[in-house]
Chain A
Amino acid sequence: MDPIIKVENLGKRYRLGVINRGMLYKDIQSWWARKRGKEDPHSPIRVAQTGGDTSGQEFWAFRNVDFEVKPGEILGVIGRNGAGKSTLLKVLSQITAPTEGHFKLKGRVASLLEVGTGFHGELTGRENIYLNGAILGMSRSEVRSCFDEIVEFAEIGQFVDTPVKRYSSGMYVRLAFSVAAHLQPDILIVDEVLAVGDAAFQKKCLGRMDEAAFKEGRTILFVSHNMASVRSLCTRALLLSGGQLEADGPTGEIVDCYLDKGVLPPSTANQEDSDAARLKITAIHYQTVDGGRTVEVFIGQPIDIVIEYENKNVLPHEEISVGIGLHGPSADLFNNYSHFSGKLFSRIPDKGAFVFRWPSVDLLPGHYLLAVRVVVRKGLNDEEVLAKPSSISLIVAPADFHKEGSGDGLKFGLIAVRGEWKMLPGGKS
């Protein structure tokens, strides 16, 4: 099939620092000087002397990106914060122009970079549906034809003629997504919007997107940090890293590739460690109890968290405590320092690893963040932080936690708890 989106050599550059010289006449002087091939009278002296680039520091949000998308594909775009995902989507949805290269599209494009853009608080739900539809490129008659569906999907029922400023935030988000989901674009660009709303509604949205792609043949570009939704929704994925297209292929492979790379903590990935870090965390990864590396952790199973380090300047007599903290999508879950169980490490070798054995990962499937801290305890409430804060994502995959065959029932709350039920005969208790 012919591609519906074709991106060739696309790049977007930002200038860092000064956007203008503060005053219009200085800008004009600079421009005039450049025009005549003279030295910019307002350029920083350092730059002028070295004869370097007078346009200031530059930064490519992404560059040399090439890919094609076929109709009906759901393409996930993944990568770290700052990898250029959101900028790529901004360029593709024409919010900002590319600096180099070009892309071609067929059919109508709607982008959903944030739900509820263009909603006006004073207007009623009904008025906002029309307005939002028009902003996203629908005509009034198109909105009219699916108006009832939109209201039904959003579950706002009798509130349709109430100004949206009186809506609860949940209703607001549901209405906004519902309008977007009922758009009939050929290409839908979605950025992280599913991070909002309750779990049931998120599920409904994913279902709706799935349906749009498979039944109605829409093409969807989906940026998310939630690997679980990328995995369940996308047929193909792009991995961006430092503004470069690093990998392009089936979702499963690409997500694994991303998680493998996720081993390096972001804060130490590309900058020299400051003097403050006396211990450098070089990698964090997961191992199954039999020692094999893994990127996915299954609910209810044991796992080893391996924290590799380099000792920069920890003295042999110092006693250190290593801790992990786990953050969920809506709450902090727990922390566990080695000193909790009375373990303090001393005589740290130059290189090595700390390992935390987690006997059973009793967390609902989803996306979590695991943070690592290393401290020297100096008193009851006094500690010195030795390593820069490092973190890694933890993806808990579904498994048959309750051993009942289907893995069903793991939908409520944050944690999974095993237990036993029985029935007592009536009478005495």
Chain B
Amino acid sequence: MPITETAENPEWDRVVTAKSGLLDLNLAELWRYRDLIYLFVKRDFVAIYKQTILGPLWFLIQPILSTLVFTIIFGNIAKLPTDNIPPFLFYLCGLVAWSYFSDCLTKSAATFSGNAGIFSKVYFPRLTVPIANALTNLITFAIQFGLFLAVLAYFTWKGAPIETSWRVVILPLLLLQMAMLGIGFGCIVSSLTTRYRDLAMLLSFFVQLWMYASCVLFPLSLYPKEWHWLLVLNPMVPVIESFRFAFLGAGTVEVYQLVSGAIVSLVVFVVGIIVFRHVEKTFSDTI
């Protein structure tokens, strides 16, 4: 909603006009609703495992099962290289990082379609929803990351060729980048799905393809070096590779890749937020 804060209109707290600028982000308002973000996170987290027997254990079962499937198919049958890392650890590492991103993306992408009811009845800054999603996913990530650390410790104890280095301090930055990319891209998809429902159907397929193109299941070193610049146009490649490089000591990371990944993520994030802000004004008319 185009709202100009008090600064320009000392007399009025809120002025809503038909015209709006491109950069009407109004982050101050978002900050005022921080309690709502907190409560959304709490709601989503609590509501997920109410009335399930295994509760939060599901957060662990999912990655273990997928990792097992990948280990059997890609490691044992297709025998793809894993940079000399034990396949189970290699796939789990990639999956844990990837699923944080893909959760951010798919949940943000459902912002408008999933909240149509409440959005058409009450106003609050709509961006609270994707932000809360990214935070809820962070809890899921933490649980799965704990699993990863346990598996990592086990393989280190078994003497696998793993070098966990000081570079793990980059983790928060990687998470931030994934959140920005996921929210930004999700917001774009969500905004478009208010008009084109087909995109929702395409999304899960697209996310899966993206995973195969993001070096989750095979290392970047599998490709000839002269093609790396092309692959890292996909900002998730350097993220996954850095994640593995920091924790397992195996991966191909160069500074230009990290910078380009960060720039692409930032651009997607900003574009996503602008599009989202634009669509939220009239979304209840089209949904």
- A122-B50 contact in complex given A90-B284, A99-B18, A104-B15, C-beta closer than 8 Å: yes
Q: Within the assembled complex, what's the spacing in Å between the Cα atoms of A44 and B131?
A: 42
Q: Does A14 contact B (CB under 8 A)?
A: yes
Of the A-B pairs whose beta carbons lie under 8 Å apart in the complex, a sample of 28, sorted by A's number, is: A6-B12, A14-B285, A24-B196, A91-B16, A94-B3, A94-B123, A95-B120, A96-B285, A98-B16, A99-B18, A101-B18, A102-B18, A103-B16, A104-B9, A104-B11, A104-B14, A105-B14, A106-B14, A111-B121, A111-B122, A120-B47, A123-B47, A134-B35, A135-B36, A136-B124, A137-B124, A138-B35, A140-B38
Closest residue of chain B to A105 (Cβ to Cβ) is B14
List B residues at the A interface (Cβ < 8 Å).
1-3, 9, 11-18, 20, 33, 35-36, 38-40, 42-43, 46-47, 50-51, 117-124, 192, 195-196, 281-286
Q: Within the assembled complex, what's the spacing in Å between the Cα atoms of A19 and B194?
A: 10
Let me know if A95 and B18 touch, CB within 8 A.
no
- A93-B122 contact in complex given A20-B196, A131-B39, A137-B33, C-beta closer than 8 Å: yes
Q: Within the assembled complex, what's the spacing in Å between the Cα atoms of A48 and B196?
A: 25
Interface residues of A in 81-127 (CB under 8 A from B): 90-91, 93-109, 111-114, 117-118, 120, 122-123, 127
Let me know if B43 and A97 touch, CB within 8 A.
no
List A residues at the B interface (Cβ < 8 Å).
6, 11, 14, 19-20, 23-24, 27, 90-91, 93-109, 111-114, 117-118, 120, 122-123, 127, 130-131, 134-140, 163
Q: What's the minimum C-beta distance from B38 to chain A, rounded to whole angstroms?
A: 8
Residues of A within 8 A of B120 (CB): 90, 95
Q: What's the minimum C-beta distance from A51 to chain B, rounded to whole angstroms?
A: 26
Closest 8 CB pairs of A and B: A102-B17, A97-B281, A134-B36, A104-B12, A94-B123, A117-B121, A105-B14, A122-B47
Closest residue of chain B to A61 (Cβ to Cβ) is B285
Let me know if A118 and B14 touch, CB within 8 A.
no
Residues of B within 8 A of A105 (CB): 12-16
Q: What's the minimum C-beta distance from B158 to chain A, rounded to whole angstroms?
A: 42
Residues of A within 8 A of B17 (CB): 98, 101-102
Let me know if B13 and A107 touch, CB within 8 A.
yes
Q: Within the assembled complex, what's the spacing in Å between the Cα atoms of A118 and B35?
A: 15
> CB < 8 Å: which of B12, B42, B123, B124 contacts A106?
B12
Q: What's the minimum C-beta distance from B196 to chain A, rounded to whole angstroms?
A: 6
Residues of B within 8 A of A11 (CB): 18
Q: Within the assembled complex, what's the spacing in Å between the Cα atoms of A349 and B181?
A: 76
Let me know if A97 and B18 touch, CB within 8 A.
yes
Residues of A within 8 A of B123 (CB): 93-95, 109, 111
Residues of A within 8 A of B118 (CB): 117-118, 135
Let me know if A109 and B284 touch, CB within 8 A.
no
Let me know if A98 and B18 touch, CB within 8 A.
yes
Let me know if B46 and A123 touch, CB within 8 A.
yes
Q: Within the assembled complex, what's the spacing in Å between the Cα atoms of A123 and B9?
A: 40
Q: What's the minimum C-beta distance from A221 to chain B, rounded to whole angstroms?
A: 14
Closest residue of chain A to B195 (Cβ to Cβ) is A20
Residues of B within 8 A of A99 (CB): 18
Residues of A within 8 A of B39 (CB): 130-131, 134, 140
Residues of A within 8 A of B14 (CB): 104-106, 109
